Structure 1
Amino acid sequence: MAAHTRLELHGAKVKARHRKALRAALKEAGEHLLGASNERIPYDQGELQLSGDVAYGGDGKEAAVFYDALHAVWQHERLDYKHDPGRAAKFLETAVVEDGDAAIAAAGEAYRREMR
């Protein structure tokens, strides 16, 4: 008795799902790093924290976490400024160094969730 197998390739559908999953992963990683940075950000009236955002580009293959308040660069770079405990300069850089692995793990989970 002969066995028959039929194989259908859905390349376009798989590619579309991959792109959607990649966007979800980047969003998850970006939001994770923004949240981690906001926990460290110098806080006075909240203007700096509220100016934080995540931008996406590169045909859905890039994400950037940023703060666009006028004083964002000064607060980030000036190590001589005094801040409340747990708040410090280099808030975004520190978030990437200390929480980068968790952001990558969150991105991986978001990707897997979308590809199911």
Structure 2
Amino acid sequence: MSRARVRWNGARVSAELRQAAARGALLGAEHVLGASRQRVPINEGTLERSGSTSVDEQTLTAAVSYDTPYATRVHEDMTARHSPGRSAKYLESVLPETAAEVQALIAAQIRRALRG
């Protein structure tokens, strides 16, 4: 009869998977940001350049934001005219379109952590 000894490092594994999920969420947020930058109405480019991403590792929540005083107004004004390919709802409209890619980015980071 052979013996095997197993050491379970559950806390370490959980921490590494959480970090991997946070990395994946950040990559996903950056993907959404890139897609939304393709739709941001452009006058001088200030709004487009103000886009940023962040991740809260505790809650595994990612955010994409645009930081100008008029970002919300431009996003919500459905009556404004914009250049072709640019539109209001420049952030909201890309979320459903990029959901599969975001999920794949998160999954890839978790798979990578499980292999390591």
TM > 0.5 fold call: yes
Normalising by structure 2, report the TM-score: 0.90
* 1:25 and 2:24 aligned: yes
Task: State the Cα distance separating 1:85 from its structure 2 match.
Answer: 1.0
* 1:86 and 2:107 aligned: no
In the alignment, structure 1 segments of 5+ residues that lack a partner are none
Look up the match of 2:15.
16
In the alignment, structure 2 segments of 5+ residues that lack a partner are none
Task: State the Cα distance separating 1:53 from its structure 2 match.
Answer: 0.9
Alpha-carbon distance in structure 2 between the residues aligned to 1:78 and 1:72: 10
Look up the match of 1:64.
63
Residue 44 of structure 2: SS of its match in structure 1?
A: coil
Look up the match of 1:4.
3
RMSD: 1.4
Alpha-carbon distance in structure 2 between the residues aligned to 1:22 and 1:60: 11
Look up the match of 1:99.
98
Alpha-carbon distance in structure 2 between the residues aligned to 1:48 and 1:115: 39
Look up the match of 1:40.
39
Kindly indicate whether the alpha-carbon contact (under 8 Å) linking 2:19 and 2:57 is maintained by their aligned counterparts in 1: no
Normalising by structure 1, report the TM-score: 0.90
Alpha-carbon distance in structure 2 between the residues aligned to 1:91 and 1:74: 12
Provide the aligned length of Structure 1 versus Structure 2. 115
Alpha-carbon distance in structure 2 between the residues aligned to 1:60 and 1:112: 20
Alpha-carbon distance in structure 2 between the residues aligned to 1:114 and 1:66: 28
Q: Which string of whole-angstrom CA distances, capped at 9 and with x for unpartnered residues, describes residues 35-93 of structure 1?
A: 11111111121110111111222615111111111110111011111111111100101
